[in-house]
Structure 1
């Protein structure tokens, strides 16, 4: 994606919409208050708008509505309690312990509740001294709540006017990221690919897509108007999402043995031609994403039919000239790639048509999946909170770290002679995260962003005295701050610092020098405390959790494999069950990848068995991809006469995956024997293959192509090859896990 397309993506994204909504929601009332000379007394109003708006994460309408109301009530209560008791120092320490533990621990209920807890802590921090409310505690808390209610009203109005806008923005972003994944896939077809780099980029991209899919599933399947009271537009959006999941699986299952592919065809131009065409397909998917985000129909950037025909002609010409009975299997592999490209091409053409929202697109629409099976489950029972009151819980450890960090920060602020000591606590709250890697990253970005923001603010105030120009810069900084808050914390931190400095300059220009100094000192002090706390107070290192993610990935892949493979033994395939298990396998794979990526940012002494874990993550991705490839054939082909041969292979592969899971449980005794077993040969296929080679040798390719067994042999060879690859991968996983366990013991 070029810079222009990236700009288009940002302009039409929900991130910019959020930034503009929060900025205008805070600034417009502030201008009105300033006009009447009461902004100083009403400053809690825009603050309430910004903080309550910060809890408004993407999701179903009813959940967003309820979370906003809960956030308003919670923050009002916290502001009152803190304000009335802030002059009693020992009570403040009690509040830090109670609020710090409780509002950090509520993260066990998911991201939405975690956001409310974070904002409640920020409200506590803002009210810990009298800079905001003075002695008018109840009045200030009410004004703050009014700011939150104002944001709630904005949310309700925009939801009524643009009910599908958020879905379009998230769905469009999903297509853009899907296109990027396919672009990475295309790099495998060009000369001298860097396999490690491409794999790492694919892992990162799949983690992004997993998060997008979870957000979209929750919104689409929990929005009543889409599931039960659907309009044409909602039906098309649902169809596009379901098609995007199928397209993702198709891209995922196009995994090949690229080393063999390059060995066989590097001397020809066909791989480069395929790679170029796949790059074009990725551009088309991203074009569709931009169109869905913006709400306009998409237009193809390339003539896909002509480009595909060119690939097909190149393959057929080379096949006629160079295929022999010795290299026939290489050409079967290339044929399957061509078939995948044809399928992806047709899906993209269908998606282009869908962006017009033509009624014909959704004609005959029927949601043929059980929505409840695809919605992320989240319970809110009190026992979940009680079950996490243990040092075994990573959430509890995080709550302890936040609480100790706030205690240290508050004590430090009492001894430091700075005018905005609460900034120390604010820095600690926003930096400390459950994962060390994220805390470390945000720490660096917070310090860097603050320094750049302070320098930028100083230079602006030094170079210009034009109030209008400074106001416009402040508006831009606010929009950027809240647009990038969840995607690029460095830009967000820079922009927040800049607009805070400019706003202080408007409110109290005489003290701007002290504000600049305080901002730097408080941020650095808070960052140091956050770093020390995250490193030495009950840290949760990723290597202590990776076994659970490995177990989840193995179990998910085993269930996925079993339901797919059952079709080849003559059993019926339940498409709904298949899609649920596919979702579970992809989520488990992405969670494992995410865990491993976090390990890379931890101290070297905590990076145990990194080479082996990297190998396992790679093999886990390949295993899921091969099972996804197998599922494509399970849904489209019927070769029940081979069920006996396939059943033997399936049983052995299932035993292999079970053996890998047993190793994680500490049972190694049977795994060594299973790892030495080889998959039995499919004798029927061997006979067919020998017969086909004989036909080619004796009759030549042209006459041999007239054989009715050609298509069946190509499919069966690919299916059998997938079973062999899955078996090989699971044996590799057994050996990797044996090595990890041996090193640990």
Structure 2
């Protein structure tokens, strides 16, 4: 029971930060600086927003920038608020533009910048409490302690964040495996990519990169590559209709369902091994069920034709999945290639043009912070900094995310203030208020990654209790906090809705172009390999990864677009495009094992297919960019040649490859028909 609580990702996260906070407060109490220590720990929201307590690539550099940025911006803003308040609005307008534009450097840089902006607001709020040098030093010491304690925690717990992320990935894979028989039975295989799995894999890749050279961390690297191979095998469905016919019948379905459950149980076991700090154990528990499944497939294998090819593929795929989960290692060893990043300054300059959403978002944030600062200065109480803090915390990358965060922020704040008012009315004050706040800390921290609304309830109550301990909590402050939060939420919602809104429809055209380029490159490497050219395994893996990640991005953008105002007219085409894209990639994934086995097509076939798909890729990419290219009449003869070769060929491995490529061609034709119509627009 205790082990299960310890490895729970939410509770472990809470244990880590709660113990760090308690030790910091204990040290402050020993030095007779407890009130200053409580104020210094206001860095916690900025720490969570910036994410500098979580391992990442170049973590030491991010820690240094975080400590200097958090303390520096808090100190500078506190000085301006005390000694030059007339420049506060201009200062926040400048900070809003500069720090928001840091998103040009990537997601981690954007989070670090938003954390620094949060600290600037905290500096404004606390500038009059203590000498500015004490505040700056206290904030710097607090964030340094929290980050260093987290680093020690991870070292002692065996890279717990990566292990937890890998465990979540395996649990998601197990859930997908369990659902597969029913999906085939109902002819309802998902037509879109599974976003949670994509997010888990991206987190694992980022955390693995934080360990230095990822290729030197054998067990964890193997666990990650195994998950990547499992995702590829699950997505590789050669023909959904025939797969349902082969697997969903009285002879094969019971054995297939038992096999999927055995694989899912094995994936859960690997997840538990990783969570508990060990290496994934080897096991042959799936072998018996695989043998029974393959035995049930024998009548379908004997039929020949396309059904026989699909049945043969399913049998081989089952053996590959069995091998993956049995050995707890990837199908083939390959290094994780560390990508070379572009010059940060060059990336920033490229995005500082009005047509780029980063530029418009930076200007939007600058205006909102300036407006929030001015509104705060007109409020009857000197608590306008809560408007600014709400603007910073509610700010997200899309209107849908902002709308959700604003509702959660407003509701959570009101609920937290009501609870705080009840506690203060009941006489909770002084050291008892501080103790109550400390008790609530682990509960609130456990909810941070679960739900922003519930987290806001806890954080608001803790903040009011901390204010009470410092003699700052009054009914007027509570009322002001409520109204300031509502004003901040309305500012962000209105700003994103009416100030140069960046709707997801505006991203669809470019995402379609990028996705097709990635998919065509993946297919090109496959065809080159079948034609006899040497294609490195790492290059093929990177191409598959790029196509998959572009599909996830297209999928995520589409899901957000569906919830935005006025985009219902684009849903049908976008849904069809996503289904065709994923289907084409599934067929490509299905023939990847033949590449690793060294299969080669006949010289004439390989050369003709390379020419056919190269020309087709160029036509589709040009059409996606708005340069409409109709389906050439000359393609009809070449398609006819292709289908004749398929019909006259054998049902061996080469025949299966041609069969899958013919399905890719059909899906490409359908994608081209969609591309002939205009892509969704930004407004």
Question: Which residue of the partner structure matches residue 528 of structure 1?
Answer: 490
> Alpha-carbon deviation of 1:25?
2.1
> Alpha-carbon deviation of 1:727?
0.4
Question: Which residue of the partner structure matches residue 421 of structure 1?
Answer: 384
Matched, 1:19 2:14: yes
Matched, 1:114 2:110: yes
Moved more, 515-524 or 419-428: 515-524
Quick check: 2:524–2:614 contact (8 Å CA) kept in 1?
Answer: yes
Question: Which residue of the partner structure matches residue 340 of structure 1?
Answer: 317
Matched, 1:401 2:339: no
TM alignment of 1:632-647, pairs within 5 A: 632-640=593-601, 642-647=602-607
Question: Which residue of the partner structure matches residue 692 of structure 1?
Answer: none
Moved more, 714-723 or 337-346: 714-723
TM alignment of 1:227-626, pairs within 5 A: 227=215, 230=216, 234-253=217-236, 255-262=237-244, 266-268=248-250, 270-296=252-278, 303-316=285-298, 318-319=299-300, 328-351=305-328, 368-369=334-335, 371=336, 374-418=337-381, 420-457=383-420, 474-475=437-438, 477-508=440-471, 511=473, 513-603=475-565, 605-626=566-587
Name the CA shift for 1:513/1:194 in 2 (closer, same or farther; >3 Å): farther
Name the CA shift for 1:476/1:247 in 2 (closer, same or farther; >3 Å): farther
Work out the CA distance in 1 between the residues paired with 2:428 and 2:578: 56
> Alpha-carbon deviation of 1:722?
0.4
Work out the CA distance in 2 between the residues paired with 1:416 and 1:447: 19
> Alpha-carbon deviation of 1:536?
0.5
Deviations 1:382-428 (A, max 9, x none): 34333333211211111112111112222222233346331111011
Name the CA shift for 1:615/1:241 in 2 (closer, same or farther; >3 Å): same
Name the CA shift for 1:107/1:11 in 2 (closer, same or farther; >3 Å): farther
TM alignment of 1:644-683, pairs within 5 A: 644-671=604-631, 673=633, 678-681=639-642
Question: Which residue of the partner structure matches residue 199 of structure 2?
Answer: 208
Quick check: 1:26–1:49 contact (8 Å CA) kept in 2?
Answer: no
**Structure 1 unaligned blocks of 5 or more:** 355-360, 690-712
**Structure 2 unaligned blocks of 5 or more:** none
Work out the CA distance in 2 between the residues paired with 1:476 and 1:175: 34
Quick check: 1:596–1:613 contact (8 Å CA) kept in 2?
Answer: yes
Quick check: 2:587–2:664 contact (8 Å CA) kept in 1?
Answer: yes
Work out the CA distance in 2 between the residues paired with 1:313 and 1:377: 48
> Alpha-carbon deviation of 1:65?
1.8
Question: Which residue of the partner structure matches residue 219 of structure 1?
Answer: 210
Quick check: 1:58–1:215 contact (8 Å CA) kept in 2?
Answer: no
> Alpha-carbon deviation of 1:444?
1.9
Work out the CA distance in 2 between the residues paired with 1:742 and 1:674: 31
Quick check: 2:97–2:366 contact (8 Å CA) kept in 1?
Answer: yes
> Alpha-carbon deviation of 1:368?
4.0
Matched, 1:734 2:643: no
> Alpha-carbon deviation of 1:134?
3.2
Question: Which residue of the partner structure matches residue 136 of structure 1?
Answer: 131
Moved more, 132-141 or 397-406: 132-141
> Alpha-carbon deviation of 1:628?
1.5
Deviations 1:600-626 (A, max 9, x none): 2211x2455221111111111111221
Question: Which residue of the partner structure matches residue 628 of structure 1?
Answer: 589
Quick check: 1:394–1:434 contact (8 Å CA) kept in 2?
Answer: no
Of 44, 58, 61, 1:66 maps to: 61
Deviations 1:304-329 (A, max 9, x none): 2222222223223x449xx657xx43
Work out the CA distance in 2 between the residues paired with 1:78 and 1:415: 24
Quick check: 1:264–1:330 contact (8 Å CA) kept in 2?
Answer: yes
Work out the CA distance in 2 between the residues paired with 1:450 and 1:430: 12
Deviations 1:254-278 (A, max 9, x none): x243334445665525235424422
Quick check: 2:444–2:458 contact (8 Å CA) kept in 1?
Answer: yes
Question: Which residue of the partner structure matches residue 90 of structure 1?
Answer: 86
Of 183, 191, 197, 1:199 maps to: 191
Name the CA shift for 1:209/1:617 in 2 (closer, same or farther; >3 Å): farther
Work out the CA distance in 1 between the residues paired with 2:646 and 2:567: 49
Quick check: 2:191–2:578 contact (8 Å CA) kept in 1?
Answer: no
Question: Which residue of the partner structure matches residue 662 of structure 2?
Answer: 724
Quick check: 2:154–2:161 contact (8 Å CA) kept in 1?
Answer: no
Work out the CA distance in 2 between the residues paired with 1:517 and 1:717: 73
Name the CA shift for 1:685/1:51 in 2 (closer, same or farther; >3 Å): closer
Work out the CA distance in 2 between the residues paired with 1:10 and 1:187: 33
Quick check: 2:518–2:543 contact (8 Å CA) kept in 1?
Answer: yes
Work out the CA distance in 2 between the residues paired with 1:47 and 1:82: 15
Question: Which residue of the partner structure matches residue 126 of structure 1?
Answer: 122
Question: Which residue of the partner structure matches residue 96 of structure 2?
Answer: 100
Name the CA shift for 1:609/1:181 in 2 (closer, same or farther; >3 Å): same
Quick check: 1:56–1:64 contact (8 Å CA) kept in 2?
Answer: no
Moved more, 180-189 or 719-728: 180-189
**What TM-score does the superposition give when structure 2 sets the normalisation length?**
0.89
> Alpha-carbon deviation of 1:83?
2.0
Aligned length: 680
Quick check: 1:168–1:293 contact (8 Å CA) kept in 2?
Answer: yes
Work out the CA distance in 1 between the residues paired with 2:681 and 2:433: 61
> Alpha-carbon deviation of 1:163?
5.6
Quick check: 2:273–2:279 contact (8 Å CA) kept in 1?
Answer: yes
Work out the CA distance in 2 between the residues paired with 1:337 and 1:241: 24
Name the CA shift for 1:733/1:546 in 2 (closer, same or farther; >3 Å): same
Quick check: 2:166–2:200 contact (8 Å CA) kept in 1?
Answer: no
Quick check: 1:109–1:378 contact (8 Å CA) kept in 2?
Answer: no
Work out the CA distance in 1 between the residues paired with 2:379 and 2:55: 45
Work out the CA distance in 2 between the residues paired with 1:611 and 1:448: 35
**What TM-score does the superposition give when structure 1 sets the normalisation length?**
0.82
Deviations 1:140-159 (A, max 9, x none): 11221121222243245335
CA RMSD of aligned residues (A): 3.5
Name the CA shift for 1:686/1:257 in 2 (closer, same or farther; >3 Å): closer
